[in-house]
């Protein structure tokens, strides 16, 4: 099993087959709009712009499980992030990442270490083969993330 085996809903309710991203390096992130780490959207967009033409994508999955820090509808979240941080990478439907109602994608992502997601802006780097390369916490610095992406590209 790899990431290409999953289908997820985008923020407009359309079912997206993640095999559409085959042969790309992916950064999968659970996000929140009212979190101390929300400002990471700024450098995530910069990273996206720097690498998207080299076969890189960021997949943004809003999640309200950590302190209720992703309130609002998918439409409201998208509007806020686009207006405040001018993001252009794909955003998906708000999901749960932990517990019984965790999305199947996140159940698979957590298989890398068997641990629950600790907080907003946990990142998973996925290689061109669809396999998990690395799990990174919200505290992982931008330069470390860039280095790992460059290695994967």
Specify the pLDDT at position 48.
98
Specify the pLDDT at position 65.
97
Q: What is the token pair recorded at 63?
A: 């999640």
Sort 23 into a burial class: Cβ within 10 Å, 0-12 / 13-18 / 19+. exposed
Terminal-residue alpha carbon distance, the chain: 21
Catalytically active residues are 35
Q: What is the token pair recorded at 56?
A: 């890189």
- Cβ atoms < 10 Å from Cβ of 35: 17
pLDDT digits (tens, 9 = 90+) for 12-53: 999 999 999 999 999 999 999 999 999 999 999 999 999 999
pLDDT digits (tens, 9 = 90+) for 78-133: 999 999 999 999 999 999 999 999 999 999 999 999 999 999 999 999 999 999 99
């Amino acid at each position: 099993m790899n990431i290409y085996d999953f289908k997820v809903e985008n923020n407009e309710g359309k079912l997206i087959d993640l095999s559409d991203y085959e042969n790309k390096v992916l950064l999968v992130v659970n996000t929140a709009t009212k979190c101390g780490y929300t400002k990471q959207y700024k450098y995530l967009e910069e990273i996206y712009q720097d690498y998207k033409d080299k076969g890189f994508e960021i997949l943004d999955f809003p999640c309200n499980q950590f302190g209720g820090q992703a309130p609002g509808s998918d439409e409201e979240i998208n509007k806020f992030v686009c207006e405040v941080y001018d993001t252009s990478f794909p955003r998906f439907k708000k999901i749960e990442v932990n517990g019984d109602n965790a999305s199947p994608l996140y159940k698979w992502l957590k298989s890398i270490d068997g641990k629950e997601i600790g907080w907003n802006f946990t990142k998973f780097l996925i290689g061109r083969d669809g396999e998990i390369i690395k799990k990174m916490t919200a505290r992982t610095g931008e330069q470390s993330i860039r280095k790992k992406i460059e290695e994967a590209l």
